[in-house]
A and B are shown apart, each in its own frame.
Chain A
Amino acid sequence: MILVVVEYANGKVSKSTWEMITAARESGREAPVTALVLGSNIAPIAAEVAKAVDQVLVADLPALAQYDPELWSAAVAQIATEGEASLVLIGGSRSGREYSPRVAIKLDAPLLEDVITLKATGETITSQRYTFLARVTETIETTAPIAVVAVKPGVFNPATPRAEAGEQFDVDLNLPTPRLKVTGKTAERSSRISLAEAEIVVSGGRGVGSAEGFTQYVEALADQLGAAVGATRAIVDAGWRPYSEQVGQTGKTVQPKTYIAIGISGAVQHLSGMNKSKTIVAINRDAEAPIFKIADYGIIGDVTQLVPAILIELKK
């Protein structure tokens, strides 16, 4: 079987799960696509995902109410072994990237991380991923009876649910005791859409002038477009914006349909976090700024004049 470990949030199957199902179906491995749902009170998740896979394995246990890398890796490795999986697909979320290596070690399997293409031909699995701050595409091969694959979010087309649902089965698990104790949580939630899910991201850099400038130009444009807000490291370091908004090498990687960079010069560390965006728009005073080299559309000029003019234009 091909095992897809279901990612979900706020009671809904995450987009990354539908993307993994596509990656599984297009992998070239002739095997039923099996979804594994781990958690507590997850019947609605299992029912939702059943519409896109051949079967669903459900581990609905109080012990799984809280994600833990040791529990998740033990559960996935056990099911992969019992089901003689040939591919194990895990989402490239923070948690997925954290426990997928443990699954690979447990299964003595190779790990293909952040894959953007996946093709199995006979025994060989070929995949591609970005490396060197997303400036290089590497092609990687592996030959093994079972491989663990962490799928980069936002690359594969999400699978479409069918009318007919795959069958559901409950599974028993031998779980270890978690050792990492979570003592508190702080949600990154804001009234805005998250950077990972947004189709449009509006980001600001030093060129917005100040924290107030950021609110006045970047947040205003983001709100007008229903977009997420991003920031460069320089202005996060300056304390203008929280780290959770930072886009780049040491912040978040985003791949929206449209990325609007306001007052961002385009240091390579920032570009590595957004250069896979489908359309890039740049507004900057400096005609020599590197951001213009990777921009599809841009205006060379004063942010304080241009953004208000764009806002007026958008309201027309």
Chain B
Amino acid sequence: MRILTYIRQVLDAEESVHIANNAVALENSKLVMDTMDEYGVEEALRLRESGIEAEIVAVAVGPARVQDALRTALAIGADRAIHVETDIRLDAIALSKVLAQLATQEQATLILSGGQQADWDSHALAAATAERLHWPQVTWTSALELKGTTLTGKHDADEGSESFTLELPAVVTTQQGLNEPRYPTLPNIMKSKKKELRKESLDQFDVMPKLKFVSAEIQVKNRLNKILDGKDAPAAAAQLVDLLRNEARVIA
């Protein structure tokens, strides 16, 4: 079987956000493979290690720099990678069209993708891709097993969690708790440089953004910043409770 793992390259969480020309400017910032997608690559490897014969293909869409995130996926253990290179910003609905076509071309039967991406804070990509392929989906998985063509596992629902079974082909989203992603070792980083990273052009996918991104602003909420010295604990506690009761009026 063939597993596609969808990868996004995002701003390292420790980095500051900069805005230029009404959009988040990522030049000169540290960029990394999205953590949520790391769980996807790791899970693909674990499925294979559980005895399933699988080729793991990492896929990404975006500017030239995105290939660095794909190289990380290859170093973790993906077999090969496909990079659809474009500077056009696609929304999740538009992007799913590319991913669905690649899944069909590659005859994949399982797609793994992060439950939420840390750049556009979106949950839509996996479900949109599943719908385009007419496949079922299961989101926010916290446990996954594959026997033959049957997936079983556990996933988060509105209230609590559910156990499920699902037949392949399917789209699955991954999250913290599903596994602990391994680090790429130096030998594997060296090996990954020889693995195939195929470049594709966006033109062949006939895709147009559905949304127009007009502007971006850094969140600034003016906070009161009334910070008390707590050396005298009872006095500080009395003062805080008084402020919360009588100034902020947030407790009774």
Please give the residue numbers on chain A whose beta carbons come within 8 Å of chain B beta carbons, in ascending order. Answer: 9, 67, 69-70, 73, 93-95, 97-102, 104-106, 109-114, 126, 129-142, 144, 179-189, 194, 200, 225, 233, 243-244, 246, 249-251, 257-258, 267-269, 275, 278-283, 287, 292-302, 305-306, 308-310, 312-314
Contact = CB atoms under 8 A, between A and B. Distances in A.
Given A136-B19, A179-B136, A181-B165, A250 B36 contact: yes
Contacts of A109: 210
Given A181-B165, A249-B118, 18 more contacts: A94-B156, A95-B157, A102-B127, A109-B210, A110-B93, A136-B217, A142-B211, A181-B166, A185-B162, A187-B160, A188-B159, A200-B251, A225-B251, A275-B221, A297-B244, A309-B237, A312-B237, A313-B241
A180 B138 contact: yes
B234 A140 contact: no
B139 interface: yes
A309 B124 contact: no
Nearest to A66: B162
Given A94-B158, A105-B96, A131 B216 contact: yes
Contacts of B13: 133, 249, 267-269
B168 to A, nearest CB: 11
Contacts of B138: 180
Interface of B: 11, 13-14, 17, 19, 24, 35-36, 91-93, 96, 118-125, 127-128, 130-132, 136-140, 142, 152, 156-167, 175-177, 210-219, 221, 223-231, 233-234, 236-238, 240-241, 243-244, 248, 250-251
Contacts of B127: 69, 98-102
B119 A250 contact: no
A179 B135 CA distance: 9
Contacts, number: 262
B214 to A, nearest CB: 4
B21 to A, nearest CB: 13
Question: For chain B, what secondary structure do more than half of its interface residues adopt (helix, strand, loop), or is it mixed?
Answer: mixed
A133 B24 CA distance: 12
B227 A300 contact: yes
A183 B143 CA distance: 14
> Which of B210, B212, B217, B225 has the most C-beta atoms of chain A within 10 angstroms of its own C-beta?
B210
A5 to B, nearest CB: 13
Shortest 9 CB-CB distances between A and B: which pairs?
A301-B230, A309-B237, A110-B210, A188-B160, A101-B128, A305-B233, A179-B136, A184-B163, A250-B176
Given A95-B157, A137-B217, A292 B225 contact: yes
Given A113-B124, A301-B229, A301-B231, A184 B162 contact: yes
Contacts of B142: 243
Nearest to A184: B163
Contacts of B120: 131
A130 B121 contact: yes
A130 B221 CA distance: 13
A183 B165 contact: yes
10 contacts: A105-B93, A111-B93, A113-B122, A129-B121, A136-B19, A142-B211, A182-B163, A183-B164, A186-B162, A298-B225
B92 A113 contact: yes
A310 B140 CA distance: 38
B213 A297 contact: no
A304 B213 CA distance: 48
B230 A306 contact: yes
Given A102-B130, A105-B93, A140-B214, A233 B162 contact: no
